[in-house]
Amino acid sequence: MKIALGADHAGYELKNRVKQYLQQKGIEVQDEGTQTGDSVDYPDFARLVAHDVSESRADWGILVCGSGIGMAMSANKVAGIRAVNASNEQEAQLSREHNNANVLALGARLLRDEEAMAIIDKWLATPFAGGRHERRVEKMAGLDRERDRQSGDRENSAAGKR
């Protein structure tokens, strides 16, 4: 298993503790940064991790910022990503069981280390239930394809006006 890991300045310290925690469990980690506590923009790191997952360079992604919200929102802009901002174990479990979430976002300012690690453990241990949920996950993938088509239509329209 390989996990891509990323954080902004607010999540930097928790990201490092998560990295160490995962490595102690024998999990390979691709650390996409940030590597300091200096102010950075969370969408840059969400993009890196999301592309690692969407392009199969990593099995899963974990993102950390102050609240987890911005990271999840940014990661979800990448086709094929189903990022969840989980603040407890039940949300982590349901995101995997029902939504086949492939990126987990955590809020460093909202979670104690023990809570974050418990959320990660639950998320990684929970399989996708499939069944009736498969249809819904496929509909989410359809939204990605629809967005891609609309984007292509806008690009073609703009090119025709030149």
SS3 45: helix
Q: How many CB atoms lie within 10 A of CB 77?
A: 14
The radius of gyration of the chain from alpha carbons, rounded to an integer in Å, stands at: 16
Structure tokens at 153: 């239509």
* One-letter amino acid for residue 54 of the chain: S
Q: What are phi and psi of 30, to 5 degrees?
A: -105, 105
Q: Which of 9, 51, 65, 133 is catalytic?
A: 65
Q: Which of 9, 51, 98, 133 is catalytic?
A: 98
Judge whether 65 counts as a catalytic residue: yes
* One-letter amino acid for residue 155 of the chain: E
Among 104, 103, 99, residue whose Cα is nearest residue 134: 99
Within 8 A by CB and 6+ apart from 158, the residues are none
Judge whether 9 counts as a catalytic residue: no
Residues labelled catalytic: 65, 98
